[in-house]
């Protein structure tokens, strides 16, 4: 019996006890005796006055005539006041039947109404308790609308337009995300931003990079063959089009400058391993280059078809959480290789806005993940500013950020920022 059932049981039992006690008091038969009658009270007064009069006569304070006259007057008045029949029978009170019926009906209804008005009846609904991600959607949507209104009024800057574009991308609003990226590109013709834009375009086309996405990738790599984000995107596009040898080549080239401990290394090695498996090659992890590249390396996060670039700044050392996520054996028949996997971190204090988020596919499971500031959705809220976080994972067949019935989920925490080697399992299904 779960806690919700116990709560309802005890609440009903308490209400029944209160109603039973009140009904017992109201329905029991009881005799209410009358008070002494006014006639008896008057008789006692007269007798006391006669006794006083006799004492005055015996003591010689009044004459015989005065005593006789006064005594006759008191006796006459006594007879007049006590002439009526006295001492009626005690009255039997009837049980308060209708009052008991009204209380038995109104007390539970009133208590229930007060709880529905002042309490939290949604807390008794397991589906409401198990789906806090629904609130994440509303918060993100509200944040995106507020930011869009502000940017339309003041023109904004590149970083804010990119932030808005990423938020729309997470919400699955690809058209709005594309428009926000285009506004950012008007302010700054940045290759990294353009690559993010064409990634959204490919997502909108169900992972198809043909046309403009591939054209932009080739232009970026033509200008800079070592462009880290361009190499990642080229690998993603090749993998999506089942050109696994090209994907392996691009990703191995992107991995060369990365040093041990780089937050993008686990995701990139997973991508390389996936390409090697597709080609029937032994899964190997090439050694990193002895020295870092002089070129600033933007961090990355896995996407629906491989690693996805992000132009956010890297996290301070240790300001991340990392580990591995896998799908429970009992749920493997309910997921397809192309289903989208969202891994994200939220504050442990109950706030539901993700501090960091990354995307991959079921085909990449078991997936090594690293959540840091490079995968932040807001410049104001980053994982490096949190002490503890909750780690959550969701598998979506639609790839939409909006949680839906049938999604597969898992969570753990709270864990301290800086934790490594976490084991997160996808073991539940949204009703």
Do residues 194 and 171 lie in contact, with contact meaning Cβ atoms separated by under 8 Å? no
Output the pLDDT for position 222.
92
Q: Are strands 321-327 and 422-426 parallel, antiparallel or unpaired?
A: parallel
| Domain end among 71, 105, 124 | 124
Both 16 and 54 in one domain: the answer is no
Question: Phi and psi (nearest 5°) for 340?
Answer: -80, 140
Assigned domain for 159 exists: no
Both 118 and 78 in one domain: the answer is no
pTM above 0.85, yes or no: no
Q: How many Cα atoms occupy the beta-carbon half-sphere of 387 within 13 Å?
A: 2
The C-alpha torsion from 389 through 395 and 398 to 403, rounded to 10°, is -50
Output the pLDDT for position 311.
40
DSSP per-residue letters across 159-193: HHHHHHHHHHHHHT-HHHHHHHHHHHHHH---HHH
Which H helix or E strand runs over 424?
strand 422-426
Assigned domain for 217 exists: no
What range does the domain containing 99 cover? 3-29+94-124
Assigned domain for 25 exists: yes
Output the pLDDT for position 93.
56
CATH number at residue 368: 2.60.40.1120
Q: pLDDT digit of tens for each residue in the chain (431 aa)?
A: 555 566 667 777 777 777 777 777 766 655 554 444 566 666 777 678 888 878 887 887 778 888 788 777 777 777 776 665 444 444 555 666 667 677 777 777 777 777 666 665 555 554 444 444 444 566 777 778 888 888 888 777 888 888 888 888 877 788 888 999 999 998 888 898 999 898 888 888 877 888 899 999 999 999 999 998 889 889 888 888 888 999 999 999 998 888 877 777 777 888 888 888 888 888 775 444 443 333 333 333 334 334 444 444 444 555 788 999 999 988 888 888 888 888 988 888 767 778 888 888 888 898 898 888 877 766 667 888 888 889 999 998 877 666 677 889 998 988 888 888 999 999 988 87
Output the pLDDT for position 305.
37
Q: How many domains does the chain have?
A: 3
DSSP per-residue letters across 67-99: HHHHHHHHHHHHHHHT-S---PPPEEEPP-HHH
Assigned domain for 293 exists: no
Both 25 and 52 in one domain: the answer is no
Both 357 and 427 in one domain: the answer is yes
Both 73 and 111 in one domain: the answer is no
Assigned domain for 59 exists: yes
C-alpha–C-alpha distance, residues 382 and 261, integer Å: 20
Both 352 and 414 in one domain: the answer is yes
């Amino acid at each position: 019996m779960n806690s919700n059932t116990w709560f309802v049981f005890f609440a009903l039992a308490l209400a029944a006890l209160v109603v039973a006690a009140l009904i017992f008091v109201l329905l029991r038969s009881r005799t209410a005796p009358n008070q002494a009658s006014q006639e008896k009270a008057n008789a006692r007064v007269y007798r006391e006055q006669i006794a006083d009069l006799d004492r005055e006569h015996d003591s010689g304070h009044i004459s015989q005539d005065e005593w006789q006259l006064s005594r006759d007057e008191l006796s006459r008045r006594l007879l007049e006041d006590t002439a009526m029949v006295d001492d009626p029978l005690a009255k039997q009170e009837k049980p308060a039947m209708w009052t008991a019926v009204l209380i038995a009906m109104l007390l539970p209804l009133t208590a229930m109404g007060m709880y529905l008005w002042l309490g939290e009846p949604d807390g008794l609904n397991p589906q409401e308790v198990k789906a806090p991600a629904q609130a994440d959607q509303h918060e993100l949507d509200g944040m995106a609308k507020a930011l869009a209104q502000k940017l339309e009024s003041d023109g904004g800057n590149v970083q804010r337009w990119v932030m808005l574009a990423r938020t729309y991308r997470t919400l699955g609003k690809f058209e709005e995300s594309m428009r926000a990226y285009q506004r950012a590109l008007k302010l700054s013709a940045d290759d990294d931003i353009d690559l993010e834009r064409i990634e959204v375009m490919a997502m909108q086309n169900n992972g198809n990079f043909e046309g403009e996405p591939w054209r932009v990738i080739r232009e970026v790599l033509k200008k800079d063959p070592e462009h880290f984000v361009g190499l990642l995107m080229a690998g993603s596009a090749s993998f999506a089009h089942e050109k696994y040898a090209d994907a392996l080549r691009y990703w191995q080239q992107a991995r060369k400058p990365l040093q041990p401990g780089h937050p993008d290394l686990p995701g990139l090695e997973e991508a390389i391993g996936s390409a090697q498996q597709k080609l029937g090659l032994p899964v190997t992890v090439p050694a990193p280059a002895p020295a870092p590249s002089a070129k600033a390396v933007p961090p990355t996060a896995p996407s629906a078809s491989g690693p996805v670039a992000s132009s956010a700044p890297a996290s301070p050392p240790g300001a991340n959480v990392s580990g591995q996520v896998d799908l429970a054996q009992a749920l493997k028949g309910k997921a397809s290789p192309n289903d989208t996997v969202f891994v994200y971190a939220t504050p442990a204090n109950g706030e539901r806005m993700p501090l960091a988020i990354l995307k991959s596919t079921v085909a990449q499971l078991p997936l090594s993940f690293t959540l840091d500031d490079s995968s932040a959705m807001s410049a104001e809220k980053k994982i490096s500013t949190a002490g503890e976080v909750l780690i959550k994972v969701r598998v979506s067949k639609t790839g939409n950020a909006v949680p839906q019935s049938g999604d597969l989920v898992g969570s753990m925490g709270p864990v301290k920022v800086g934790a490594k080697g976490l084991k997160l399992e996808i073991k539940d299904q949204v009703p």
